[in-house]
Amino acid sequence: MTTVSNAHNRVIAIIGGANGIGRETARLMVEAGARVAIGDYDGEAASRAAQDLGGGTTGHQLDVSDRDSFAAFLTAVESELGPIDVLVNSAGVMWAGAFDEESETVARRQLDVNLLGVIYSVQLMAPKMRARGQGHIVTIASAASLLPTPGEATYAASKHGVFGYLKAVRFELRGSGVHLSAIMPTVVDTAMAAGTSTGAAAILQPVDVARAVVRTIERPRFEVTVPAYVGVVNRVVNVLPSRVRDGILRRLVPDQVVAVDRQARAGYESRFQEDPHG
């Protein structure tokens, strides 16, 4: 069982917390005695999740691609619960298929939600934390931040962007008491993964990633892969000749261009077309 010994009475804001990884993270933090606020594009789902979790959890509507909406969410949380100790970014969307079949609208939505949403969170939250001399921003990135993922080109670009952005800002914040962390899981059993392949890795459950978030809050680290061996494999293959490296990665990393099941993804992607947050 994963516990957080230093969570009691801390204020934890979880973005994309109505479902999946975010909801499981919220559950674990509430059980640890934290005061939790959930922000989600679906405000009603956020409110329902908060009510289900109890413990004084609050739910809020939040559009991460809108800076003003993000600022309003943070203001509301701090007004209700006090200064935010930990912010968890768990909102994300993904389209799967050949790069030249992806629409401009879908590409922009992935960049707006997955990348700009994280940038806004750091720009709005990190200065407040720096002024207090402490704080932690945990972002759910993806193994796609590190690995070549055919069929997920724009999604991978957004997650590479997240990882690069966090690496740069981390150096700007050194010595400030503010921690940044990137959690990079392989395929997780959520709506986003419908109709896709996991490759050589077993599919993860949302709680697997939530537990990694909890461990990272307990003991801050910058780069966390789930499963842990992904980070080791990435470091090893990157020192190999390109032909050898490419051969290994082709066996390990799923090719969603070939594997994607359009029918199985129809429900998720129809919502994606209408709703920028999937």
Please list the active-site residues.
Answer: 155
CB atoms within 10 A of CB 27: 20
Residue 185 near residue 140 (C-beta atoms within 8 A): yes
Please state whether beta strands 11-15 and 178-185 pair in parallel, antiparallel, or not at all (unpaired). unpaired
Residue 83 near residue 98 (C-beta atoms within 8 A): no
Distance of alpha carbon 120 from alpha carbon 169, whole angstroms: 12
| Neighbour order of strands in the sheet with 58-61 | 58-61, 35-40, 11-15, 86-89, 135-140, 178-185, 223-226
- Rounded to the nearest 10°, the torsion over CA 29, 35, 39, 44 is 100
Tokens of 101: 């079949």
Q: How is residue 59 annotated by DSSP?
A: E
CB-based contacts of 112, cutoff 8 Å, min separation 6: 65, 276
Region of residue 214 (phi > 0: left; psi between -120 and 50: alpha; otherwise: beta): alpha
Residues of 227-261 as b/e, b for ≥16 C-beta within 10 angstroms? Answer: beebbebbeebeeeeeeeeeeebeebbbebeeebe
